[in-house]
Amino acid sequence: MPDDDALKQARNRALRFLTYRDRTEREMRTYLLGKDFDAPTVDLVVDYLKRLGYLDDTRFALQWGRYRIETKRFGRFRLQQDLRLKGLADSIVGETLRQLYGEVDEKELAREAAESKLVKWKNLDKQKQRQRLAGFLQRKGFTSEIVFDTVERLIPY
């Protein structure tokens, strides 16, 4: 059983860590272990934060996903990768993707992302623009079908 002083310090560190943005359970565990708190102390603090509602992986996934879609215009594959890197369970990732991409037209999202880049490439020949746009959209996490459709619509031969 961890001593009261270590538990209090860990709780304070955890709460301070949460002031910047929501965190996943895994991020919090990694952070506290990196601050040299032992595993039982970390477990108690994480349970405490979950009981208070400060740690909620489902809420985090929806907020993070919505933010990444709105600001970065990420496609389904890229967002899936981001959420998994945050340490979220596959069930949470799957439900989040289903919900968020049910609200958003992914083809429209790709078009918006593409148009922002095309302005910068207006002096390039069409073939070079098509290549760069396809690579850009793939890195954003859009499916091959959406990439092909978007490139064809915006830069026809």
* CA angle, residues 45, 91, 40, in degrees to nearest 5: 20
Q: Which domain holds residue 31?
A: 4-52
Q: What is the CATH number of the domain that holds 30?
A: 1.10.10
Same domain, 29 and 67: no
Same domain, 41 and 17: yes
The pTM (predicted TM-score) of the whole model is 0.87
Tens-place pLDDT, residues 32-69: 999 999 999 999 999 999 999 999 999 999 999 999 99
What whole-number distance in Å separates Cα of residue 134 and Cα of residue 95?
28
What whole-number distance in Å separates Cα of residue 30 and Cα of residue 42?
9
Residue 2's pLDDT band (cuts 50, 70, 90): low
Tally of domains within the chain: 3
Average pLDDT rounded to a whole number, residues 6-21: 96
